[in-house]
Amino acid sequence: MQPHTQARRVTIVDVAAHAQVSTTTVSKVLRHAYGTSAATREKVQRSIAELGYRPSAGARGMRGRTYTIGVMLPDIRNPFFPDILDGLTEALHDTDYQVLLGPGGCNDEPAEARVTEAMVDRGMDGMILVAPVSARPRLEQIARTVPTVVVGPHGNSAVYDTVSDDDTHGAALVVDHLVGLGHRRIAHIEHAETDPTRLADMPNAIRARGYRRAMRAHGLGDEITIASTTYTQEGGLLGARQLLAGPRRPTAVFAGADVVALGVLEALDEAGLSVPGDISVAGYDNTTIAALRPISLTSVDQAGRQIGAEAARLLLSRIADPERASTHVKLSPTLITRRTTAPPPAV
């Protein structure tokens, strides 16, 4: 047998002939549609198995669905996303749907547009956009074309559903925890948002807002100190240096993301300060890295699996009924306390 003498693929016509029924009947069996007797169904199933038939998604898509759900992930490296994916895959496991991932360029709007368009072109029955950077009109445009769920806080759009974590609450969890330990000078490192249209929606902004609100709630409005950099390790390093150089050194730093916290740890190491002896540090996202023993970072866990499961549920329901009112689910994060937070030094 020659390597590339690929035999013609088995089609629905072959199955119909083999089972001695019409292609319509086979199609109905495939789609679990009404109008087939149990006997016929079984006969067809047997033929399908015997011939090793697999329906062509492309052909199906021309008239009906492709049974494919497209998931746009902005950054494969962010360890938070695999959790979402797990929840998603698990929830879709017993359905006929298959998940395919589109690698969206990290924070790169044109790249994101490219990949979402490609998914639409490929006839996805539904799309899940994880933390998209595109602006709302673009998201709504997509959602008008194909059922869409946006993961992350992207406003209460009427055309797409959203699932997100309550980052205000997450930030409060951190502040509460630190205040409970006795801290007062709690600083925050945020990701500077330049685009005003995103200011309302992006997690970074929400976390910063949550920090401020929680500080005020504890009567610590005067202690609010924010270093504005980026959600990167470098950003954490620079932000921490900035905070350490300030007039009143904080006793605790709440970094808006775990990567940022890593940069903070580096800066403290550099300054000869011990953690949590001199300064406590907390992150956000509860990434795998935070859990590593040598790091052991106190962090906020976003319940990625739940987010994924919820997104899948919403998407399936919208595929079933595209006209239904949009729903916006908000989940609550939890605080994972580890070894980077402790009471402030006695002084």
Binding site for DNA (CB under 7 A): 8-9, 11-13, 20-28, 30-31, 33-37, 39-40, 53, 55-56, 59-60, 62-64
Phi, psi of 113 (to 5 degrees): -60, -40
Cβ atoms within 10 Å of 171's Cβ, excluding its own: 28
Burial of 274 (0-12, 13-18, 19+ CB in 10 A): exposed
171 lies in the site for a second copy, by CB under 8 A:
no
Tell the residue number behind the tokens 């950054």, with chain if given.
Answer: 75
**Is the Cβ of residue 48 or residue 240 nearer to DNA in the bound state?**
48
Q: How far is the CB of 199 from a second copy (least distance, A)?
A: 26
Do strands 126-130 and 148-151 pair parallel, antiparallel, or not at all (unpaired)? parallel
Of 85, 205, 215, 243, the residue at the interface with a second copy (CB under 8 A) is: 85
From the list DNA, a second copy, none, partner contacted by residue 30 (C-beta under 5 to 8 A by kind):
DNA
Task: Write out the E strands in 139-257.
Answer: 148-151, 161-165, 186-191, 225-229, 252-255
Contacts of 218-221 with CB under 8 Å at 24 or more apart are 218/175, 218/176, 218/179, 220/179, 220/184, 220/186
**Is the Cβ of residue 60 or residue 185 nearer to DNA in the bound state?**
60
26 lies in the site for a second copy, by CB under 8 A:
no
DSSP per-residue codes, 7-52: PPPP-HHHHHHHHTS-HHHHHHHHTT-SS--HHHHHHHHHHHHHHT
**Residues between 31 and 70 with contacts to a second copy, criterion CB under 8 A:** 54-59, 61-62, 66, 68, 70
* Stretch binding a second copy (CB under 8 A), from 73-81, 131-139, 194-202, 207-215: 73-81
From the list a second copy, DNA, none, partner contacted by residue 144 (C-beta under 5 to 8 A by kind):
a second copy
Residue type, 84: I
From the list DNA, a second copy, none, partner contacted by residue 79 (C-beta under 5 to 8 A by kind):
a second copy
Q: How far is the CB of 55 from DNA (least distance, A)?
A: 4
Q: How far is the CB of 43 from a second copy (least distance, A)?
A: 23
Of 25, 36, 43, 81, the residue at the interface with a second copy (CB under 8 A) is: 81
104 lies in the site for a second copy, by CB under 8 A:
no
Q: How far is the CB of 96 from DNA (least distance, A)?
A: 10
Residue 198 per-residue DSSP state:
G
Separation CA 138–CA 51 (nearest Å): 44
From the list DNA, a second copy, none, partner contacted by residue 337 (C-beta under 5 to 8 A by kind):
none
From the list DNA, a second copy, none, partner contacted by residue 294 (C-beta under 5 to 8 A by kind):
a second copy
The CA distances from residue 59 to 12, 56, 64, 208, in Å, are 11, 5, 9, 49
**At a CB cut-off of 8 Å and minimum separation 6, what does 296 contact?**
290, 338, 339, 340
Separation CA 304–CA 299 (nearest Å): 14
* Stretch binding a second copy (CB under 8 A), from 23-31, 131-139, 209-217, 292-300: 292-300
Binding mask 204-243 for a second copy (x = CB under 8 A): ----------------------------------------
Please check whether residue 304 is in contact with residue 80, taking contact to mean a CB–CB distance below 8 angstroms: yes
From the list DNA, a second copy, none, partner contacted by residue 99 (C-beta under 5 to 8 A by kind):
a second copy
**Is the Cβ of residue 53 or residue 284 nearer to DNA in the bound state?**
53
